Structure formats: structure tokens, C-alpha cells
């Protein structure tokens, strides 16, 4: 702001000087020659002084402008340095954040790659399972493996047999050995899947209804085959189990095909899933334990009688030992009494030797002796 005022002042002075020169020129033209020369000399001197003043003002303005330029340059440099520092810090932080983000992104990409590999493996396993379930023999083997795991995990080895032959030549997947009644129970692990797969893949109501009917027909035919093959009067129990190694099919039958369940009840072929079979096997295990307990009841009774005799003899011996302990306690008490009396008599003898006791001695007392009648310390000894 001061520099602008100085500049304006110089411009005003120059304007005044120009106007003055113009006015003087006009005025000198109207004066006589002698006066004109004198006034021209004075004017020239004043102009010289005015020119020096203008030069001084111009020099002063130049110095101020240079100082202001240096100050402005310094401020600009400081501000540029501060801006550069801030930009550098911002770029450094941005670089660190970008590096962290890229590292996290790389780690997540690695995890996504691993998950994709797992999904690819799982897809392969699902395809393999689908291929297994699409083949009847493989599907039967799959059901037999799951049945074997459940049975071996719930029952002792003596309570079941796998792939055993019946008298009619049929080979049953598993035979649970129960005593009569009810007798051995047959379990079949094969199950129809084609109609259920068609039901799951149905896209309209008509196809869904047809697939459900086909599933019901397949299940009823399978139930009849089990009843004819694995329920033999006098050899097996009056009922058999149809094992479905799929909770989904079991739920579908109970939810939408109650007629299949009723038909299985009438044929005495009970449909079980892995969960219900596990509960059934635990019930069978309890029954087997109860049967075994009944079979061993006479042995348990004999062992119990012997145990009671041992307890009676132990009680008699404890009573005898208590009698011995009581006698020992009484003997120890009498020994303690004798020791106390001996100590008292020793103290009296010591007092007599020192001449401190003037009273007559106390009458002799009988003491406990193990060699014969007790003698007092005051009596003569042989």
C-alpha cells in the first residue's frame, strides 16, 4: 500500500510539473526578451531542483520496490516450501495407504483364490456324489456304508451281522440280533432316488405332481419287496426297517406322501432316516442290556449272597478288633497310672534323701505288677 501511494505521488508531481512547464512556456512567450531570459534562468534552476527531487523520489521508489520484491520473493519461497512439504507428506501418506490397501487386496485375492479352489474341489465332490447316487449299485453301497457306521457306533459287535443270508436265499444288508420276541430285525439300505431327483428338478406343477406320484409308486414297490424278502415268520421279527440315508427324502415322504407312510405301517416295514435309526439303535442297545441283565440275574444273585457273607465276616472281625483296641486302651490307661505313681514315689524318696520331709511316710500303696503281688517301696525286699 505505501508503494502505491508513493507511485501516485510521483505521478501527481510529474503531472503538476508538466502543467507548470506548459504554463510557464505560455507565460514566457508573452514576456519581454530580457525578462524572459531572467525568468528562463530561474525556471531552469527550479527545474533542475525539481528534477533532482524527482530522481531522488524515483531512486527511493526503486529501492522500496526492490525491498518489496525481495520480501515477496521470500514469502513466496517460504510458502512454496510449505506447500511442497505438505504435498510431500500427503503423497507419503497416500503412498503408505496405497501400499497397505494393495497388501490387503493381495491377501484377500489369495484367500479368494483358495476359496475358489475349495469350491472347485467341493463341486467335484458334489458331482462325484451325484454320479454315485445316480447308479443303483453305487447308491446301495453308499447307504450300506452309512448304515454300517451307525450300527457299529451304537451296538456291540455281537448284536449285528452285515450281508447275512436268510433261509430263503436273500442277502440282507444288516441283521440286528434281538431275542425272541421280537427276534432278529432286517434292515435294507437301498432306496429309490430317480423320482425324487425328478421331483426336485420339476419346473411346473404338472411335472412335480407326476414325479411325486412316481416317487410314491417306487417307495410302495420297494416296501412290498422288503416285506416279501426280509420278513420270515419264525426266523426274523414281524417287522423290518427301510433305511433312507437322506433326511430330505424322509421329510418329503412325511410331508407330502402320507399314503406311503401308511402303506409301510400296514406292511410292517418302518422307514427310518439316519436320525431316527440312531434313536432306534439306542433303544435296541437298551433292550439288549436288559436282556443280558436278565440272563445274568442268577449269577448276580449268587455273587450278591457271597458278598453279603463277606460283609458279615468283615463285621465280626471288626468287632473283634474293636474289643482288642478297647483292652489295649484300658491297659495303656493302667500303665499310665502306674507310671504316675512311680514318679510320685521317686519324688518322695528324693525328698527323704535331702532331709526336707519331716512328716511320717505315707502308708504303702499297691502298685500294678506283672510278676506277682505288688510291693510298696517302704517294705523290705528279700
Residues 200, 314 within the same domain: no
What's the domain count of the chain? 3
- Cell numbers 410331508 correspond to 255
Residues 93, 160 within the same domain: no
In the DSSP assignment, the letter for residue 270 is E
Top pLDDT among 35 and 352 is at 352
Cell readout for 328 is 489295649
Model pLDDT for residues 15-47, shown as the tens digit of each residue: 666 666 666 566 556 555 556 566 666 767 766
pTM assigned to the model: 0.45
Reported as a pLDDT band with limits 50, 70 and 90, residue 224 is very high
Integer Cα distance of 146 and 244 in angstroms: 10
* Confidence at residue 141, expressed as pLDDT on a 0 to 100 scale: 62
Q: What is residue 33's three-state secondary structure?
A: helix
> Is pLDDT of 86 > 70?
yes
Among 11, 17, 15, 6, which residue's Cα sits nearest to residue 46? 17
Q: What is residue 366's three-state secondary structure?
A: coil
Top pLDDT among 139 and 256 is at 256
* Confidence at residue 26, expressed as pLDDT on a 0 to 100 scale: 61
Residue 10 within a domain: yes
* Residue that is last in its domain, among 295, 315, 345: 295
* Confidence at residue 47, expressed as pLDDT on a 0 to 100 scale: 67
- Least confident range from 12-21, 56-65, 82-91, 334-343: namely 12-21
Model pLDDT for residues 187-210, shown as the tens digit of each residue: 998 777 777 777 878 788 888 888
Contact between 177 and 292 under an 8 Å Cβ cutoff? The reply is no
Cell readout for 30 is 508573452
Residues 275, 264 within the same domain: yes
Alpha-carbon distances of 236 from 77, 186, 242, 281, 291, rounded to whole Å: 105, 7, 15, 17, 18
Residues 72, 82 within the same domain: yes
Top pLDDT among 343 and 42 is at 343
> Is pLDDT of 367 > 50?
no
Residues 258, 169 within the same domain: yes
Calculate Rg over the CA atoms of the chain.
63
Residues 162, 286 within the same domain: yes
- Least confident range from 26-30, 98-102, 244-248, 264-268: namely 26-30
Contact between 361 and 348 under an 8 Å Cβ cutoff? The reply is yes
> Is pLDDT of 228 > 50?
yes
Residue 7 within a domain: yes
Mean pLDDT of 248-277: 89
Q: What values do phi and psi take at 242, rounded to 5? A: -105, 110
* Confidence at residue 39, expressed as pLDDT on a 0 to 100 scale: 62
Residue 139 within a domain: no
Give the residue ranges of DSSP H helices in the chain.
2-29, 33-134, 136-154, 194-201, 205-230, 247-256, 258-267, 274-295, 297-353
Model pLDDT for residues 154-169, shown as the tens digit of each residue: 888 888 899 888 888 8
Largest CA distance in the chain: 195
Contact between 275 and 296 under an 8 Å Cβ cutoff? The reply is no
Alpha-carbon distances of 215 from 3, 135, 150, 267, rounded to whole Å: 104, 17, 26, 18
Integer Cα distance of 341 and 27 in angstroms: 168
Residues 90, 14 within the same domain: yes
Residues 150, 255 within the same domain: yes
* Confidence at residue 248, expressed as pLDDT on a 0 to 100 scale: 83
Cβ density class 210-229: b for 16+ within 10 Å, e for less: ebbebbbebbbebbeebbeb
Residues 269, 304 within the same domain: no
Contacts of 348 (CB under 8 A, 6+ apart): 357, 361, 362
Residue 135 within a domain: no
Mean predicted lDDT score pLDDT of the chain = 77
Q: What percent of the chain has pLDDT over 70?
A: 74
Q: What values do phi and psi take at 150, rounded to 5? A: -70, -45
DSSP letter for each residue of 181-242:
TT--EEEE-----HHHHHHHH--SHHHHHHHHHHHHHHHHHHHHHHHHHH--TTTS-S-EEE
Integer Cα distance of 163 and 170 in angstroms: 9
Integer Cα distance of 166 and 157 in angstroms: 19
* Residue that is last in its domain, among 83, 105, 127: 105
> Is pLDDT of 231 > 80?
yes
Top pLDDT among 13 and 216 is at 216
Q: What percent of the chain has pLDDT over 90?
A: 5
Residues 51, 91 within the same domain: yes
Reported as a pLDDT band with limits 50, 70 and 90, residue 240 is very high
Domain range for residue 81? 2-105
Amino acid at each position: 500500500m505505501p508503494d502505491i501511494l508513493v507511485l501516485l505521488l510521483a505521478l501527481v508531481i510529474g503531472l503538476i510539473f508538466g502543467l507548470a512547464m506548459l504554463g510557464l512556456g505560455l507565460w514566457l512567450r508573452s514576456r519581454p526578451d530580457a525578462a524572459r531570459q531572467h525568468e528562463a534562468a530561474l525556471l531552469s534552476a527550479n527545474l533542475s531542483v525539481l528534477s533532482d527531487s524527482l530522481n531522488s523520489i524515483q531512486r527511493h521508489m526503486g529501492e522500496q520496490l526492490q525491498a518489496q520484491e525481495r520480501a515477496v520473493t521470500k514469502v513466496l519461497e517460504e510458502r512454496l516450501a510449505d506447500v511442497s512439504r505438505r504435498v510431500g507428506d500427503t503423497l507419503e501418506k497416500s503412498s503408505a495407504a496405497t501400499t497397505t490397501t494393495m497388501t490387503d487386496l493381495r491377501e484377500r485375492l489369495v484367500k479368494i483364490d483358495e476359496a475358489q479352489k475349495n469350491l472347485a474341489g467341493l463341486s467335484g465332490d458334489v458331482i462325484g456324489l451325484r454320479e454315485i447316487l445316480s447308479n443303483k449299485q453305487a447308491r446301495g453301497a453308499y447307504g450300506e456304508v452309512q448304515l454300517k457306521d451307525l450300527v457299529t457306533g451304537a451296538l456291540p459287535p455281537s448284536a449285528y451281522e452285515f450281508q447275512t443270508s436268510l433261509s430263503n436265499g436273500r442277502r440282507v444288508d444288516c441283521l440286528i440280533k434281538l431275542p425272541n420276541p421280537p427276534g432278529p430285525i432286517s434292515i435294507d439300505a437301498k432306496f429309490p432316488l430317480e423320482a425324487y431327483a425328478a421331483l426336485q428338478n420339476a419346473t411346473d406343477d404338472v411335472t412335480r405332481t407326476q414325479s411325486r406320484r412316481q416317487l410314491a409308486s417306487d417307495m410302495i414297490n420297494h416296501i412290498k419287496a422288503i416285506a416279501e424278502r426280509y420278513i420270515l415268520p419264525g426266523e426274523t421279527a414281524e417287522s423290518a426297517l427301510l433305511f433312507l440315508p437322506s433326511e430330505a427324502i424322509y421329510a418329503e415322504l412325511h410331508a407330502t406322501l402320507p399314503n406311503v407312510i401308511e402303506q409301510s405301517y400296514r406292511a410292517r416295514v418302518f422307514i427310518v432316516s439316519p436320525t431316527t435309526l440312531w434313536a432306534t439303535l439306542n433303544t435296541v442297545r437298551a433292550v439288549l442290556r436288559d436282556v443280558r441283565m436278565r440272563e445274568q440275574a442268577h449269577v448276580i444273585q449268587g455273587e450278591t449272597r457271597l458278598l453279603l457273607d463277606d460283609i458279615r465276616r468283615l463285621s465280626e472281625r471288626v468287632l473283634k478288633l474293636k474289643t482288642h483296641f478297647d483292652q489295649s486302651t484300658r491297659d495303656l490307661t493302667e500303665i499310665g497310672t502306674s507310671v504316675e505313681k512311680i514318679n510320685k514315689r521317686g519324688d518322695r524318696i528324693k525328698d527323704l534323701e535331702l532331709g526336707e520331709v519331716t512328716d511320717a511316710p505315707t502308708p504303702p500303696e499297691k502298685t500294678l505288677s506283672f510278676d506277682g503281688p505288688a510291693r510298696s517301696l517302704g517294705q523290705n525286699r528279700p
